[in-house]
Every structure is written in C-alpha cells, then in structure tokens.
Amino acid sequence: MKKYNIKIHYLYHSSFAIETPLNFFIFDYYMTSSDPRKHTLENGFISEELIKGRKNILVFCSHKHPDHFNPAILKWQKINPYIKYILSSDIKIKNPPKNYYRLSPYESVNLGDVHIKTYGSTDIGISFLIKVEGITIFHAGDLNLWRWKEDTEVEQIAAEKNFKAEIKKIKGETIDFAFFPVDPRLEEYYCSGGEYFINEIHPEFFIPMHFWNSNYITKKFAELVKHSSTKCLVIDHRGQTFNFT
C-alpha cells in the first residue's frame, strides 16, 4: 500500500482542511462563529492564529453557493498576505485579493509544487484535481448525480447523462483522496453518484461530504461500498481528524 503523509480535518458539510508536510489547503469554507474561542480545527473552524502561523496556505472555493463560499474568507489575507485563493470563475469579487486565481472548468495552474487542474460540475462551478507531494486529491464541489425524485423522467435521464459525461473526462486519473457528495436529500438516490464515481475512478480513499448534520449517511454509504477496493471514511463529528502520517 502506498505510504501517505497527510492529515484531513473535516470542518463541516463540504469543507475540509488538509495538511501535508509543505502545504495547508482549505476547501469550501463557509461556516463561521462569532465566538473566537470556538475557532479551532477540533471544532471545525479556522482560527486567525492558525492562518497567521502557517505558510503555503491555499484556499479553494468550488462555486458561489452560500454553503460553499463565504466572503469572510477574503479577510484572511489581512492576517496572512501570502495566502493564495483559487476560486471558481462564477464567484464575482469587486476587489480581488492578492494571489487570487480565478478558474473555469478544464483549466490548469501550477503554484510552486502544487499542480491544480479543474473539471466541471453538474450544478455550477468547478471541481478540483490537485497533485502535491506525491499525492492526488480530488474535491468534487457540487459535481454529483443529482437525481431528484420530483424531477421528470426526462430531467432525471439528462442529469445522469451529464454526470456520466463529466466522470468520463476524469477517468484515467489516479486519485488517492476523493471528496464527493453523499447527500441525504436525494433519499434512496443519495448513493448513486458516489457509487458510480468509485466504480469508474477507483480512488484509494473516498471521503463523503455535502451532508450537513446527517453524519449517519457516511456510515451507511461506507457499509454499502465495503466490498470495493476503495476505502470509505466514516465521519462521526465536526472537527474530526483523519491522520495518514
């Protein structure tokens, strides 16, 4: 089995902080608290102290939906002017921060030892493929098979077609850690996108996201795919850390 040196902190919903020996990534951060005493990774928050004391911080936002993007993250540049922002092109900012990279689907950018490639979404925005320090990370944003029961059959067929077309573009990438929606609002279809992604892409680890407070769904999904070669993480609580060092 491949050896890793990475820590993954589940913050909330689709937001994660990822630590490697040389870099610190933050994805789709949107939940804040008025009480700075709560601002710890253990509580699922990013503190000013953490921002101030770290180098090579990259902040990713997959799209403008309020459960994925909070403009408050832009204030972090006042605490640490070296932070880099990698934001989807649908996010409009009047006064962009320094070190700001605005990406659309199927674009690439290299930031030192961090190689970023974007793919599309089946909602709005982008998904991220990141290669860093021998590890490949994929964060899906809102890329998923959004099969809503109230949709017409025609709409459901179109949703599946669009989703599979996007996965086909990703196929061939070797992914170590995949962050992907497992949304309980889809009811019995909550697993459709995740299962298909695992069967087509075969990531080493699958990390469920986009489930708000319904942590139970991660255990349910892990049980569903337990015979797969992909290992699915079970998330019990906000601020949970998975240590692969």
Q: What is the pLDDT of residues 103-149, one digit of tens each?
A: 999 999 999 999 999 999 999 999 999 999 999 999 999 999 999 99
Residue 35 is predicted with a pLDDT of 83
Residue 60 is predicted with a pLDDT of 98
Residue 142 is predicted with a pLDDT of 98
Q: How far is CA 199 from CA 49, 161, 184, 186, 228, in A?
A: 41, 16, 20, 20, 8
Three-class secondary structure of residue 231 per DSSP: strand
Q: What is the mean pLDDT of residues 3-13?
A: 97
Instruction: Tell me which residue has tokens 């089995």.
Output: 1
Residue 229 is predicted with a pLDDT of 97
Contact 86, 128 (CB under 8 A): yes
Q: What is the mean pLDDT of residues 155-161?
A: 98
Nearest to 139 by CA among 199, 207, 202: 207
In the chain, what is the greatest distance between 2 CA atoms, to the nearest angstrom? 52
pLDDT in tens, 173-205: 999 999 999 999 999 999 999 999 999 999 999
Decide the pairing of beta strands 15-19 and 24-27.
antiparallel
Taken in order of first residue, the domains within the chain and their CATH numbers are 7-243 (3.60.15.10)
pLDDT of 65 strictly over 80 = yes
Q: How sure is the predictor about 226, in pLDDT bands with cuts at 50, 70 and 90? A: very high
Q: How sure is the predictor about 42, in pLDDT bands with cuts at 50, 70 and 90? A: very high
Q: For the chain, give the mean pLDDT.
A: 96
- How many C-alpha atoms does 19 have within 13 Å on its Cβ side? 16
Distance (Å, rounded) from C-alpha 77 to C-alpha 83?
6
pLDDT of 71 strictly over 80 = yes
pLDDT of 37 strictly over 90 = no
Distance (Å, rounded) from C-alpha 18 to C-alpha 235?
15
Residue 53 is predicted with a pLDDT of 82
Q: What is the mean pLDDT of residues 91-97?
A: 90
Contact 40, 28 (CB under 8 A): no
